[in-house]
C-alpha cells in the first residue's frame, strides 16, 4: 500500500540461506563420490562402458551342480547408447565355465539386445569362480561379468516310507493292500531296474522296471498281501537301481487266518480301541495311525485317509490280543513325521 515503507529483512537470513546451500552441495558431492565408480550417469568425463550397455544379470551364480552334469543360465546384453557397438571378442575364464558358440565380431545396434547361454559343468567337487569378458573398441575397457558355481559329489539315494509293512491278519485267499511312497532323496536321477519279492504272497502295483525318478520326486505304489494258507508269513521287497550300491529293502509281514465255519466267531462281541493324542507343534494337515503286535514294530497303517482331529477309534481289532499304536503327522507337502511314542493296549476275551 502507498505510504508504507518496505519491511526490513531479518538479519542473518542471507547467511542462513548460504549455509543451507553449502550443506546441500556437500551432500551432493558425497553422493556423487559414492556412486561414481559404478554409475555411469554421474561421470563428468567420457561415457563409461556401463553407460553404453546393460547386462542382466550383472553376475551369474550357478549354485551347486553335480560333477559330470551341467547347468545353463541366460545372459542378456543390451545396447543402451545411441550408437552401434561392435564386440570383437567374448571370452570365458574359470574351470568348468563355457559360453555358447557365437561368431565374433558381432555388432549390436542401438536399442537392441543379445542373449548368451553360459554353461557350468564342474569336473571336481569344489567351488569355482570365473568371468565373461566383453571386448569392444567402442568401449574404453572390457566389461567383466563375474561367474560362480560349486561342484558337488553325486549322492544317489532312494528311501521307502514306510520301511516295513505289517498287513496283520488276512483271511486265506483274501487280499489286503497298503500304500508305499518311494522317494529319490539324492541329488542325481535314478532309474529302477528291478523289484523282486522273496515270497509269492506279496505283490506290487504301480512299481515296475524302467521307472525314473528325478531328485526329490516321489513314486506312490500299492503293496498287496494274499495268503494262500494259515500262519504267519514274512518277506522282503528289494528295489534295485544301477546307481545304487545295494537295493532298497522293504520288510513285509502278515498272517493268514482260516475261514473255517468251525472256528469261534462270536458275532455278538466286538472290540474297539480309542486313541487320543496331543496336537503337533508344527504346521500339519493331519495324522495317520499305525498298529503292530510287537513292541517297537513293525507297524501297519490302519487309517485309510488322513485324520484331521486328535482322536481315532480302531474297530478292526480282535479279542484276546495285545496291540501297540503309534501316530505320525503329515505336512502340506505330503511328508510324514517319525513315529510318536508307543501306546499299548490289551483286549479282553471275548
For residue 164, the domain's CATH number is 2.60.40.10
Domain of 124 in residue numbering reads as 49-152
Indicate whether 80 pLDDT > 50: yes
User: How far from the centroid of its chain's Cα atoms is residue 163's Cα?
Assistant: 22
The answer to pTM > 0.75 is no
% of residues, the chain, pLDDT over 90: 46
**252 in the same domain as 289:** no
Domain boundary among 189, 224, 258: 258
**274 in the same domain as 309:** yes
**278 in the same domain as 254:** no
- Is omega for the bond preceding 57 within 30 degrees of 0, making it cis? yes
* Cα 240 to Cα 244: distance, rounded to the nearest angstrom: 7
Q: Could you tell me which of 121, 155, 342 has the C-alpha nearest to residue 243?
A: 155
Q: How many domains does the chain have?
A: 3
Q: Where are the alpha helices (DSSP H) in 36-179?
A: 49-52
**172 in the same domain as 132:** no
**166 in the same domain as 214:** yes
**191 in the same domain as 138:** no
Average pLDDT of the residues in 6-16: 42
Look at residue 263 and tell me if it is in a domain: no
Q: What is the pLDDT of residue 327?
A: 93
Q: Which residue has the cell 477309534?
A: 313
> 148 forms bridges with which residues in the sheet?
61, 129
Q: Could you tell me which of 231, 224, 234, 233 has the C-alpha nearest to residue 257?
A: 231
Q: Where are the alpha helices (DSSP H) in the chain?
A: 13-35, 49-52
Q: What is the pLDDT of residue 50?
A: 52
**332 in the same domain as 237:** no
Task: Provide the 8-state DSSP code for 137.
Answer: T
Domain boundary among 258, 284, 313: 258
**164 in the same domain as 138:** no
| SS3 assignment, position 192 | coil
Q: What is the pLDDT of residue 281?
A: 85
**186 in the same domain as 109:** no
Look at residue 29 and tell me if it is in a domain: no
Task: Give the range among 54-68, 115-129, 184-198, 246-260 with minimum mean pLDDT.
Answer: 246-260
The pLDDT confidence band at residue 272, using thresholds 50, 70 and 90, is confident
Radius of gyration of the chain (CA): 36
Task: Provide the 8-state DSSP code for 280.
Answer: P
Indicate whether 4 pLDDT > 80: no
The pLDDT confidence band at residue 122, using thresholds 50, 70 and 90, is very high
> 323 forms bridges with which residues in the sheet?
345
The pLDDT confidence band at residue 71, using thresholds 50, 70 and 90, is very high
Look at residue 24 and tell me if it is in a domain: no
Average pLDDT of the residues in 181-197: 91
CA distances from 180 to 140, 161, 221 (A): 64, 6, 6
* Cα 130 to Cα 145: distance, rounded to the nearest angstrom: 9
User: In residues, how long is the chain?
Assistant: 350
End-to-end CA distance of the chain: 116
**More confident: 242 or 9:** 242
Amino acid at each position: 500500500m502507498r505510504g508504507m515503507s518496505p519491511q526490513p529483512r531479518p538479519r542473518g537470513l542471507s547467511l542462513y540461506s548460504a549455509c543451507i546451500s553449502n550443506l546441500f552441495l556437500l551432500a551432493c558431492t558425497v553422493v556423487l563420490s559414492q556412486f561414481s565408480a559404478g554409475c555411469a550417469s554421474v561421470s563428468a568425463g567420457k561415457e563409461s562402458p556401463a553407460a553404453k550397455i546393460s547386462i542382466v544379470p550383472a553376475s551369474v551364480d550357478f549354485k551347486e551342480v553335480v560333477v559330470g552334469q551341467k547347468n545353463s543360465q541366460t545372459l542378456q546384453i543390451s545396447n543402451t547408447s545411441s550408437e552401434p557397438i561392435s564386440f570383437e571378442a567374448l571370452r570365458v575364464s574359470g574351470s568348468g565355465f563355457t559360453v555358447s558358440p557365437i561368431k565374433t565380431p558381432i555388432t549390436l545396434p542401438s536399442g537392441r539386445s543379445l542373449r548368451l547361454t553360459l554353461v557350468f559343468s564342474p569336473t571336481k567337487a569344489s567351488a569355482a569362480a570365473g568371468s565373461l569378458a566383453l571386448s569392444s573398441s567402442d568401449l574404453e575397457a572390457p566389461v567383466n561379468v563375474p561367474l560362480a558355481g560349486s561342484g558337488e559329489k553325486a549322492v544317489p539315494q532312494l528311501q521307502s516310507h514306510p520301511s516295513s509293512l505289517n498287513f496283520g491278519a488276512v483271511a486265506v485267499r483274501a487280499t489286503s493292500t497298503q500304500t508305499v511312497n518311494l522317494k529319490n532323496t539324492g541329488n542325481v536321477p535314478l532309474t529302477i531296474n528291478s523289484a523282486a519279492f522273496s515270497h509269492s504272497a506279496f505283490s506290487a502295483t504301480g512299481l515296475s522296471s524302467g521307472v525314473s525318478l528325478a531328485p526329490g520326486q516321489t513314486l506312490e505304489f500299492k503293496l498287496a498281501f494274499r495268503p494262500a494258507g494259515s500262519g504267519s508269513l514274512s518277506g522282503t521287497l528289494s528295489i534295485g537301481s544301477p546307481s545304487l550300491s545295494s537295493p532298497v529293502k522293504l520288510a513285509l509281514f502278515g498272517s493268514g487266518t482260516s475261514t473255517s465255519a468251525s472256528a469261534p466267531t462270536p458275532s455278538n462281541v466286538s472290540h474297539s480301541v480309542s486313541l487320543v493324542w496331543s496336537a503337533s507343534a508344527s504346521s500339519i494337515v493331519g495324522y495317520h495311525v499305525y498298529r503292530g503286535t510287537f513292541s517297537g514294530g513293525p507297524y501297519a497303517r490302519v487309517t485309510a485317509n488322513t485324520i484331521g482331529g486328535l482322536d481315532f477309534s480302531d474297530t478292526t481289532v480282535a479279542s484276546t490280543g495285545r496291540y501297540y499304536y503309534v501316530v505320525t503327522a503329515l505336512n502340506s507337502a505330503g511328508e510324514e513325521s517319525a513315529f510318536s511314542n508307543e501306546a499299548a493296549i490289551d483286549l479282553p476275551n471275548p
